[in-house]
Chains A and B, each alone.
Chain A
Amino acid sequence: MDVKPHDGPIQRLYARWLDAATKTGFAASLCAFLLYVSGALPPYVAPERLPELWGLPVGRFLEETGAPTGWRWVALMDHGDYLSLAAVALFGLITPVCYLRIVAPLLRHGERLQAALAIAQIAVLAAAVSGLFAGG
């Protein structure tokens, strides 16, 4: 069976980065959430107010709270809820980072088609991260 000898090392490289990034995301989420619910960092929307709001559709929720959309939440990371959101958002960045890491080894082994797929996937994820598809 024609299995390329470099398939294994590239797959293991991806696995190593995936493992480290996932553990980092877990730890960051836990720390940020503890800062949020303990009140150590002030929230943008107080948790006590949320039970009146979380039954609303997202559009109404945003109107009631003035919460930001797109990337504007980054400016609110000194608030516990948005620091927690940043930690959660890290999970959405893990895949593009891992893909980015394997592009060079793929090219080095002459895997141009696989490298092109990886770059296309990074482009799709980058478009999603940028908010291009978030619309209204």
Chain B
Amino acid sequence: MKNLRLIHVAALVLALTASGPATAADGAALPWWIWPIALFAVSFIIGIVAVLAGVGGGVLFVPIVGSFFPFHLDFVRGVGLLFALSGTLAAGPVLLRTGMASLRLVMPLALAGSIASLAGAVVGLSVATDLLQIALGATVITIAIMIWAMKAADFGVVESDALGDLLRLRGEFEDPAAGMRIDWRTRRTAAGLAAFAGIGFFGGVFGLGAGFANVPALNLLMGAPMKVAVGSSGLIISIINSSAAWVYIHRGALLPLLAVPSILGVMLGSRIGARLLSLTPANVVRRLVIAVMLLAGARALLRGLGIWT
């Protein structure tokens, strides 16, 4: 019950954020210190919700803060990358120790993704803001629909391909829920590498972690068990975003007054989210995430089209 109440409070705060869109004029009228506090609060809640929903925090952070806070999208995307980076770095050690993330699986995929994400970040900082808002809005709405429609698949132990064999993309982990040790291997390695290059580019453009795309690529395309897909996705985000974040740092698109409260908020929120994970009804959180993403995506789309500025 306590967890449900917390989820409802989180929903209320996110809805209040969404109902009170800030303009640049609001931003200048309010005292400066209001905004870091608001960012900390929103990031803290996103940190809880993101872990519970199994999405990267960036996919909620960028559309919400980009649409409802007075900051330019250039700065929001820079913070978005650091946001997803710090959240996944914090979760990484536990995922690796429990075997939910596989370093062997992550290394080739993250390399393809991080090369592409550098190109994506450079493109993202060169494109007109209106166009980016439209693309971001359309993308976030599409992702919300994908999350709504997506189902996990369990393929059992799949047959490795030659490249997967060469890279020895296989492992085992103890599944406490199933009470057994599960062996796994992956397939379609070349397609997986191409998919992660595409996802990395996309994440670099929009400042997202793109965990929503990593998980289906690992699970549906490459045949990794769902738990390994979710765990490895987090570690992949932490590596890919490390390269794209530097593009924003060097371009001067990272404001510490926005970045630090967001990072501290998501790192604390993620820890609480991880503790609530086993106790929270997944459907409640899933619906909340989809609703917030649809709202924030629509706002970004309408803002880009000049309909709701």
Identify the A interface with B (CB < 8 A). 1-4, 7, 10-12, 14-16, 18-19, 21-22, 25-26, 29-30, 32-33, 36-37, 47-48, 50-52, 54-58, 61-62, 67-71, 73, 81-82, 84-85, 87-89, 91-96, 102, 113-114, 117-118, 120-121, 124-125, 127-129, 131, 133-135
Q: Are B254 and A121 in contact (CB under 8 A)?
A: no
What 17 new A-B contacts, CB under 8 Å, besides A15-B96, A85-B254, A94-B238? A11-B96, A11-B97, A11-B103, A12-B97, A32-B256, A47-B257, A58-B251, A61-B75, A81-B256, A84-B259, A88-B82, A92-B246, A113-B166, A117-B107, A124-B243, A131-B246, A135-B251
Q: Are A88 and B256 in contact (CB under 8 A)?
A: yes
Q: Shortest Cβ distance from A82 into chain B, in angstroms?
A: 8
Q: Are B260 and A88 in contact (CB under 8 A)?
A: yes
Complexed CA–CA distance, A52 and B25 (Å): 8
Chain B residues contacting A81 (CB-CB under 8 Å) are: 255-257
Residue of B nearest to A102 (CB): B103
User: 0/1 per residue, B86-128, Cβ < 8 Å to A?
Assistant: 1001101100110100111001101100110011011001000
Residue of A nearest to B263 (CB): A29
Q: Are B246 and A124 in contact (CB under 8 A)?
A: no
Residue of A nearest to B35 (CB): A51
Q: Shortest Cβ distance from B186 into chain A, in angstroms?
A: 13
Q: Are B103 and A54 in contact (CB under 8 A)?
A: no
Q: Which of B36, B119, B242, B244 has the most CB of A within 10 A?
A: B242
Number of B positions contacting A (CB below 8 A):
72
Selected A-B contacts with CB under 8 Å, 18 pairs: A3-B172, A15-B92, A18-B92, A26-B267, A55-B27, A55-B70, A58-B251, A73-B252, A88-B259, A91-B82, A91-B85, A92-B85, A94-B89, A117-B111, A124-B111, A124-B118, A128-B246, A134-B250
Complexed CA–CA distance, A48 and B246 (Å): 27
Chain A residues contacting B104 (CB-CB under 8 Å) are: 7, 11, 114
Chain A residues contacting B267 (CB-CB under 8 Å) are: 26
Given contacts A22-B92, A95-B239, contact A33 B103 (CB under 8 A): no
Complexed CA–CA distance, A133 and B126 (Å): 13
Report, nearest first, the 7 A-B pairs whose CB atoms are least far apart.
Answer: A134-B250, A84-B256, A55-B24, A15-B96, A19-B93, A128-B243, A128-B246
Q: Are A16 and B246 in contact (CB under 8 A)?
A: no
Identify the B interface with A (CB < 8 A). 24, 27-30, 32-33, 35-36, 70-72, 74-75, 82, 85-86, 89-90, 92-93, 96-97, 99, 102-104, 107-108, 110-111, 114-115, 118-119, 121-122, 125, 129, 157, 166-168, 170-172, 183, 185, 238-239, 242-247, 249-261, 263-264, 267
Given contacts A12-B97, A22-B89, contact A71 B250 (CB under 8 A): yes
Chain B residues contacting A85 (CB-CB under 8 Å) are: 249, 254, 256, 259
Chain B residues contacting A22 (CB-CB under 8 Å) are: 86, 89-90, 92-93
Complexed CA–CA distance, A11 and B247 (Å): 28
Q: Shortest Cβ distance from B178 into chain A, in angstroms?
A: 17
A interface, over-half SS = helix
Complexed CA–CA distance, A85 and B253 (Å): 11
Complexed CA–CA distance, A55 and B73 (Å): 8
Q: Shortest Cβ distance from A7 into chain B, in angstroms?
A: 6
Q: Which of A120, A125, A134 has the most CB of B within 10 A?
A: A134
Q: Are B32 and A1 in contact (CB under 8 A)?
A: no
Q: Shortest Cβ distance from B13 into chain A, in angstroms?
A: 22
Q: Which of A2, A54, A61 has the most CB of B within 10 A?
A: A54
Q: Are A131 and B250 in contact (CB under 8 A)?
A: yes
A91 touches which one: B32, B70, B263 (CB < 8 A)? B263
Q: Are A58 and B32 in contact (CB under 8 A)?
A: no
Q: Are A92 and B70 in contact (CB under 8 A)?
A: no
Complexed CA–CA distance, A54 and B264 (Å): 20
Q: Are A114 and B107 in contact (CB under 8 A)?
A: yes
Q: Are A62 and B96 in contact (CB under 8 A)?
A: no
